[in-house]
Amino acid sequence: MSSSNELELNGKQEFTITVYTENRIGILNRIAIIFSRRKINIESLNTSPSEIEHIHRFNILIHETEEVVRKLARQIEKQVEVLKVYYNTNEDIIWQEMALYKVPTDTIAEKVSVERLLREFGARAVVIRKDYTVFEATGHREETDKLIEVLQPYGLIEFVRSARVAIIKDSDGFNRKLREFERRDPGEEVIENEFLDKEKNVFSM
């Protein structure tokens, strides 16, 4: 955790922006240009289906002041196909990034105490082949970085890290509200459900 020393002199810190959207072509671009127009770099971006069919959830990580992030959130929420936007500091969330490490099996088996490695970093072997082994580790950036350092001398072949995914600590009822919303105001692809066309809601949480 580095949140305590994050508030630098310019007031910028890490913010995780959570966006619920319709699953539509082009929405990624509409959201991305809100940042690029203001010359703000997206440090990490994850988008994947939420627990509700047709609704996607974005996690966007940026380094900015809260004032700017608040304005960005409103600009994102203004997009027609965006349902809801939240922004949180690192204190407000629990987050993880997943990393995969591919190393030569012979070196690893010979020179490293694999067991110790796995224990220490909470990693697990996903694939073990004669020529290479793939480890997986999940954690904060610093933790997955550390394992790179450790494996580098042993001929790290390839490394990949996922975007941050984050759970908001104070998110009581998110799932319930989303599910209820989908039932009362189903997506265009839904052919039949008990509430179809009975309610005209706009998503709110």
Which residues of the chain form contacts with other proteins (CB under 8 A)? 21-22, 25-26, 29-30, 33, 37, 70-71, 74-75, 77-78, 80-83, 181, 185, 187, 200-203
- Taking the least distance from each CB to other proteins, the nearer of 125 and 190 is 190
The residues, ordered by sequence, that sit 6+ positions from 116 with a Cβ below 8 Å of its Cβ are: none
State the Cα–Cα distance between residues 188 and 182, nearest whole angstrom: 11
CB of 93 to other proteins, least distance (A): 24
CB of 180 to other proteins, least distance (A): 12
Note whether 34 and 75 are within 8 A (CB): yes
Q: Angle, nearest 10°, between helix axes 66-77 and 27-36?
A: 150
- Taking the least distance from each CB to other proteins, the nearer of 5 and 26 is 26
Tell me the two tokens of residue 86: 């939240």
CA 196 to chain centre: 32
- Taking the least distance from each CB to other proteins, the nearer of 83 and 134 is 83
CB of 155 to other proteins, least distance (A): 40
- Taking the least distance from each CB to other proteins, the nearer of 1 and 80 is 80
CB of 185 to other proteins, least distance (A): 4
What stretches of 37-137 show up as alpha helix (H) in DSSP? 66-77, 105-111, 114-121
